[in-house]
Each structure stands twice: as structure tokens, then as C-alpha cells.
Amino acid sequence: MEDFQLKVEDQKKTLDERNRIIREIHQHYMNKSPELECLRQIDSDIYTKNEIRLMIHQKYDHINQNVENLKVDSDTILFSILGIIVSTVASSVILLLCLYQFEFLAAFHFYLLIPLYIINYLIIKSITRKTRDNVVVFIATFIATILNVLIFILLIN
């Protein structure tokens, strides 16, 4: 039982130390400190310099990816517009083929919005290379889904 408690305490200390290091890394990133300066200023009794270097590199990469993903620039807007067009056409064709093959799905047409949204999102994500955390990608996916609804309503009437 004591072995188990010691093991749990050791894991807790290791996790606490890791969280402390990650908080420090994040603070250095927010202060725009380079990775090397961050490495020089962070010490640990539990982790080696190599392990700390790896944590710093991974955390800086992770933060950079998040910042890049959230960035709205002209390329993101243009690719989102292209994504709206491509995804609307592709998902409308898929919807029409499904309705043609399985006529009973027409009764559940508003439930088909969920797969259409997913298809639109995946196409727009692949074109823009950004996730729905980016506001432009989210809005583009929503617009493409609304266009799908309008196409569906026009075709039914």
C-alpha cells in the first residue's frame, strides 16, 4: 500500500512539475522570448535539460500552430470562398444522389443537414488548411450549408 502511495505522489510531483514548466513556457512565448532564452531560464529537479528542450519545442510549435490556425488573412478568405463553391456543389450532388437512390430520405431532409455540414466542413478544411476554430472557415461552412438548404428547397418545389 505504501508503494502505491509513493508511486501516486511521485506521479503527482512529476505532473505538477510538468504543468509548472508548461506555464513558464507559455509565459515566455507570450513575452515573445525565443526558445533558447526560454531554455536558459527554465530549470527542473525532475526533468533533464533535454526533456525540457523537447517540451519547449513542442509547446512553441503547438502555440504557433494555434496562432496560425486562427489567423484571418486574404488567402483564408479566398480559399474559403472557393471552398463554399466546391463544397456546396459536391454536397448538393451527394444529397441529390442519396435522395435519388433512397427516396424515403426525402421525409428526413432536414436531418440530412448534419452530414451536409460535415461534408462542407471537411471540404473547406482541406482547401483552407484551417479548422473550424478559424471564424472564416466556420462562417464559410455555415454559408455552404445554407446554400445546400436553398438548393434543396428549390429542387423540391
pLDDT band of 155, cuts 50, 70, 90: confident
pLDDT band of 93, cuts 50, 70, 90: very high
69-92 mean pLDDT = 95
Please return the burial class of 109, using the count of CB atoms within 10 Å of its CB with bins 0-12, 13-18 and 19+. middle
Q: Can you tell me whether residue 114 is helix, strand or coil?
A: helix
The per-residue pLDDT for 152 is 82
Amino acid letter for position 73: D
The per-residue pLDDT for 124 is 97
Per-residue pLDDT reduced to its tens digit, 30-61: 898 888 888 888 988 889 999 999 999 999 99
Average pLDDT of the chain, as a whole number: 89
